[in-house]
Amino acid sequence: MSLQVDDLRTDARTNPLGIDNPTPEFAWRLVAERPGTLQAAYEIEISTSDGAWWNSGRIRGDRPFGVAYAGPPLESCRRYHWRVRVVDDAGTISGWSGPAWFETALLDPAGWRAHWISGPPESAQDHAALYLRTTVEVSDRIVRGRAYVSALGWYRFFVNGHDVTGDALVPRWTPLDHMVEYQTYDVTGFFRPGTNVVAMAVGDGRFRGRLGALDKRSVYGDRLAGLVQVDLELADGGVARLDSDERWCAGRGRILASDPKWGERVDLRIDDHAWRTAATTPVTPPPVTLHPVDVLPWPDRQLVAEEVERVRCIERLPATRVWRSPGGRQLVDFGRNVSGVARLLLAGPAGTTVSVTYSELLDPAGELDAAHTANHGRAKPQRDQVTLDGGPTWYQPWFTVRGFRYVEIDGPAEDLTGAEAIVLSTDVAATGRVDTSDERLNRFHDNVLASVRANFADTPTDCPTRERSGYTGDIQTFAPTAVVCVDAQAFLRRYLRNLACEQLPDGRVPPMIPSEDSTFSGGRRTFSKLASGSVGWGDASVILPWTLYRYHGDERVLDRQYDSMRRWVDHLERRARTRSGWARWFGKRVGGQERYILDSGFHFGEWYRAGSDTGSQVRNLLVRRPVVATAYLARSAHLLSRAAGVLGRDADAATYADLAHAVRAAWRAAFVRPDGRIGADGQDDYVRALGFDLLTGEQRPAAIARLAALVEGAGTRVTTGLLSTPMILPVLADGGRADLAYALLMRTASPSWLAQVERGATTVWETWDGYDDKGRGLLSHNHYTHGVVAGFLTEYVAGLTPAEPGYRVIDVRPVPGGGLTHASATVRTPYGPASSAWRVDGGTCTLTVTVPAGTSARIHTDRTVDVGSGIHEISWGQIAVR
């Protein structure tokens, strides 16, 4: 057919099992033979096993996404099948799409019958894993089975010995004082007529395990617990139910200690196979000793269904090298820096303890470097301790995750050439690809994707080795790059839901989400209280929703987060009005406009500028930099105004537009000198001024010229920090200095992006240098923040950007240069894949653009051309490759 529909998704996922959204959103993709095809209308049909459920009727609309369910109230624990057909702008009606489905979980909290169960209170003292089990009799063949499972801690769930959870790390980290995620499993094939064994193991996870820079443990509680509710529909029409309650047993097993950061201590001599499979209590010595469970009071925590793909194995890497270090320990190299665990074949005399230590690096002597990610002088390694049972055993830890390339085995082991790295990440699809004539840039883009994979776990972390915290500043700067690399929509939606949950009543936002604070462990820590008002970090509450709207056309996230966005901007405005800071007393006063200058409160400022030292960081924190804080007030007020306009909140749109205008004017009055110099006259001052559109049209040329002079005066290198580095190359290119942007991009001396590549990096480093002058590793070697320049490759080098939200109109504006002879980028937009590819041959550049059905594009070369969907080729001359 000439018009078809495919790639059906519900709430940004394909066939999701167990959602609790009463009004899910539908999306699809047009496939059309006719160039320039646009969608004009659509019709959605939903059915259940009982027949037709709802038909939307024909609805006018040109967007094949963001279509909210508007039928009768959905029922809990039910599967719905849906399909869609569309009408294009020529009146052609497509056939019905193939079917898709979604299944609801427990939409009403009253549907929970299960109880939270735990072991004896004294079992919490040594941090051993919690083992739970019960049996259930089933009278007939099962035709449909569902299990709704959660835990306070990470868990594995078993039915008759089958590992239903697999290697997933669940539940996802949420603000555990407020909400806990649960999973829905199809267990139809795991139960059988007769006696069935249901078992569960719970490790510390993010609930009781060590968190953050200080490795604080038991933040949310000290008693692990499980929650299980099973519904089985039988062939004879009956129903069997199983709930976690007082009839379960609890005990200890082979996992004697588990921590997400510090690792596991395991005794393989303890048989847990019988615990999972035997219909009677295991009696093999030494037994998994079981006792009656403690039924806990129902906690004041909301249970929420998954809305993101799980953290699970997304890749297995074989060992590339096995050898002995100079010290005699066995080392395994997996060839790439990843996040996950290793699967190793261990063997030796019963009772022998083997230590398995993970690290990203080797030290200059060729030994495993377990100290390069130490916090505050502590160098606790990522290590498991395994007591052997006398036979060969494939060992893979259950309740921990590491950042590593190398593994050291201290003790006996079998043939380690079969060792595997189990790469764990949120299972999000790669949606963007870049290819250029410079293989180093291609490798750098691969490294950025690898760091996204490593750090997009249960929250967007800063690194998989050390803190593993969800810093708001890191993700708000990186998000525009993330969304053109991977399908991050659902992932960032969950992060924002967590953010709104933990936002303080006065509008401040914790610097990490989840905040790593809990009433159980004493409430807000001093650092969290201090840093919750920091601009650039708290602005994630505004910038992240706008990023999702710009790239995904996601209006629902604007609506859901609107109150959070507004409360943050209102907080900043109140702080500006108080004028309580002392920093401005040393600067130019601007009379009545001082009420719009944000000069008080704690702010990280331009964190870790390239080349900065500890002293400069301390000065940065103490001075507070009102020039930075005020700029962010202007930026967030502007974005909030635009979001209000999208949502039809016209009064708010006008109010915050006026605020943004007033703050920009005050910022110019206070921080732009008569000679055009800005703030402290650093690169970041000009980058932010230009990138946030704070200057008048007359002021911009001088700012571009001064920025260029500062870059060249620094030896053509960046001296920006976390907040402004993402903008420096785009600002230079937009200001007519693409030559200088390319000079920075292609630089190979540190600080630079290609310096890491030329030193063999397989991920992005936390520091520009990566190593000290003695060759010892510095901090994490897997930290996506400096990878923001990958967005420049897509949006400037290849020239592919959304001109309208969700790429409804695509802007194609390639910027050839840097000695490149060709470059291309592909992005999977909400409408389908779009691509831009250019190649220079002699003095002619040929550009090929693919525009998906339902969209149009504006192509800028030596002229501007508006085109519809299809494949388009344009050539122009006078191209010099420098």
Mean of pLDDT values over 169-186: 97
Q: Is the pLDDT of residue 342 over 90?
A: yes
Categorize the per-residue pLDDT at 271 as very low, low, confident or very high, splitting at 50, 70 and 90: confident
Is a pLDDT exceeding 90 seen at residue 136? yes
Q: Is the peptide bond before 460 cis (omega within 30 degrees of 0)?
A: no
E strand or H helix at 701: helix 700-713
Q: In the chain, what's the furthest Cα-to-Cα distance?
A: 87
Mean pLDDT computed over 275-300: 72
What is the C-alpha to C-alpha distance for residues 299 and 147, in angstroms, rounded to an integer?
A: 20
pLDDT of residue 290: 80
Strands (E), 750-869: 800-802, 809-812, 822-829, 832-841, 844-851, 856-860, 864-867
Residue-level pLDDT at 624: 60
At residue 849, the pLDDT reads 97
pLDDT bracket for residue 463 (50, 70, 90)? very high
Query: With helix as H, strand as E and coil as C, how does 59-91 read?
Result: EECCCCCCEECCCCCCCCCCEEEEEEEEEECCC
Can you give the pLDDT at residue 617?
65
Per-residue burial over 756-767, b if 16 or more Cβ lie within 10 Å, else e, is bbeeebbbbbbb
- DSSP secondary structure letters along 577-641: HH---SGGGGS---GGGGGG----S----STT-TT--HHHHHHHHHH--HHHHHHHHHHHHHHHH
User: Is residue 287 pLDDT above 90, yes or no?
Assistant: no
User: Which pLDDT score is estimated for 120?
Assistant: 85
Name the amino acid, one letter, at 807. Answer: Y
Residue 319: predicted pLDDT: 98
* Confidence band of 813 (pLDDT split at 50, 70, 90): very high
Confidence of residue 300 (pLDDT cuts 50, 70, 90): confident
Q: Quick: pLDDT tens for 178-232.
A: 999 999 999 999 999 999 999 999 999 999 999 998 899 999 999 999 999 999 9
The pLDDT score that the predictor gives to residue 375 is 56
Mean pLDDT (whole number) for 297-317: 94
**pLDDT reported for residue 526:** 85
- What does the DSSP 8-state code read for residue 252? -
Residue 706 reports pLDDT greater than 70: yes
Residues 734-754, mean pLDDT to the nearest whole number: 97
- The predicted model gives 672-682 an average pLDDT of 95
Report DSSP state, residue 786: G
Query: Averaged over 52-71, what is the pLDDT?
Result: 98
What are the residues whose beta carbons fall under 8 Å from the beta carbon of 328, sequence distance 6 or more? none
Residue 280, pLDDT > 60, answer no
As a whole number, mean pLDDT of residues 328-336 equals 97
Distance CA(191)–CA(136), nearest Å, equals 10
Sign of CA dihedral 160, 163, 169, 171: negative
- Looking at residue 585, its pLDDT comes to 58
- pLDDT above 70: residue 283: no
User: What is the model's pLDDT at position 621?
Assistant: 64
Residues 118 and 116: their CA atoms lie apart, in Å, by: 7
pLDDT confidence band for 102 (50 / 70 / 90): very high
Picking from 517, 487, 343, 362, the residue whose alpha carbon sits closest to that of residue 425 is: 487
Quick check: 830 and 765 in contact, CB under 8 A?
Answer: no
Containing H/E element for 528?
A: helix 526-531
Question: Which has the minimum average pLDDT: 455-464, 525-534, 696-705?
Answer: 525-534
In contact, 462 and 355? CB cutoff 8 Å: no
Please check the confidence at residue 878 and state whether its pLDDT lies above 80: no
Residue 109's CB is within 10 A of a number of other CB atoms, namely 10
Across the range 296-301, mean pLDDT stands at: 88
- Looking at every residue in the chain, the average pLDDT score rounds to 94
Cα separation, 863 vs 861, in Å, equals 5
Listed in sequence order, the residues at least 6 apart from 647 whose beta carbon sits closer than 8 Å to its beta carbon are 555, 558, 559, 562
**In this predicted structure, what is the pLDDT of residue 622?**
60
CA distance 396 to 313: 12
Cα–Cα distance between 128 and 641 in angstroms, integer?
51
pTM over 0.85: yes
SS3 249: strand
Query: Residue 281: is its pLDDT beyond 60?
Result: no
pLDDT band at 284 (very low <50, low <70, confident <90, very high): very low
Torsions phi, psi for 703 (to 5 deg): -65, -40
pLDDT at 512: 97
pLDDT of residue 611: 75
CA distance 195 to 627: 69
